[in-house]
Structure 1
Amino acid sequence: MKKVKSGMTDELRPEYKRSDFGEIVRGKYANQIKAETNVVLLDPDIAEAFPNDEAVNKALRYLLEVAKTSSSLIG
């Protein structure tokens, strides 16, 4: 990370105008990023039970296998 030189301000350089940059929209791409990601947040109590992603995946695969087996017994 670059260090800010002392005496520098947050002002635009004289050759730039704020109007050159268009409208600023906070979170403009937030929904698009949310739709394109597969990150899942676990509740704290669940996260505490699993030390890492491998343990979560192993548990979910086992659960999926059990669900498939039990549904084939019924149908």
Structure 2
Amino acid sequence: MQVTLPWKTLDGPAVTPSFVFVTVKGKPLNRNRFNEKVWQRALRAAGGPASRENGMHALRNFYASVLLDAGESTRR
């Protein structure tokens, strides 16, 4: 699935990226549904606490920290 964004930069042209993570039907993942149905279940199965502190925002922050530690930019 593709979605056309109105701009890539403030004054730039429209851009149509492809999604990296999609459902089996090819639609974009809903972060709330993924968090509830996949991420939290995986945390419980691994014996970790499935709480807000271990949700998608924490995962995003962890990934940003890994990028920064590797000397990468967190900006596109």
Calculate the TM-score normalised by the size of structure 1: 0.32
Q: Determine which structure has the larger helix proportion and give its number.
A: 1
Larger Rg: 1
> Which has the bigger relative contact order, CA under 8 A and spacing at least 6?
2
Calculate the TM-score normalised by the size of structure 2: 0.32
